[in-house]
Amino acid sequence: MSLPRDSHTPPYRLVADELRQQIRSGRIKPGERVPSSRDLEAQYEIANMTARSALRVLRDEGLIYSTPGRGNFVIDPLPPETGPKASQGEPEGQQGMPTPEYAELSQRLDALNAKVDSLLGIFEQLRSLTEPPKKK
């Protein structure tokens, strides 16, 4: 499954939105393991950093927690959805940010992730031009 290329929303936000919907709908239940960043990378055809950023958004929202060496898990019990923002598709992860510095760093990280994704796309195009054709 690949993400829409014509979206103005950063890829990590699209993945976070998809995972959030799966958690809220019960497809991924409280206490269950969330796909790893490597699984998300393969499933959505994104960079690992993009997948990790999507998981960071969900962690910041309090929907998942990480256990070193085991993975990411859905919080049990799930926190209630916060206000009308959550249901109207507003940018997630921006409710209750503790400091202006956090907001600035988050925006800078978003910009860097977008640049990395763009560069990875260019590298992929270059690789397809320089690799010899595969034999069948």
The distance in angstroms from the start CA to the end CA of the chain is 25
Specify the pLDDT at position 83.
Answer: 52
Query: Between these two residues, 43 and 1, which has the higher pLDDT value?
Result: 43
pTM: 0.60
Tokens standing for residue 37: 């960043």
Write the pLDDT tens digit of every residue in 39-75: 999 999 999 999 999 999 999 999 999 988 899 999 9
**Domain holding 65: CATH number?**
1.10.10.10
Instruction: Identify the band that residue 26 occupies on the pLDDT scale cut at 50, 70 and 90.
Output: very high
Tokens standing for residue 114: 């977008």
CA distance 131 to 21: 39
- Count of domains observed in the chain: 1
- Mean pLDDT over each residue of the chain, to the nearest integer: 82
E strands, the chain, are 33-34, 64-67, 71-74
Residue 1, domain member (yes or no): no
| CA distances, 16 to each of 7, 124, 136 (Å) | 14, 24, 38
Residue 135, domain member (yes or no): no
Residue 117, domain member (yes or no): yes
Query: Between these two residues, 5 and 18, which has the higher pLDDT value?
Result: 18
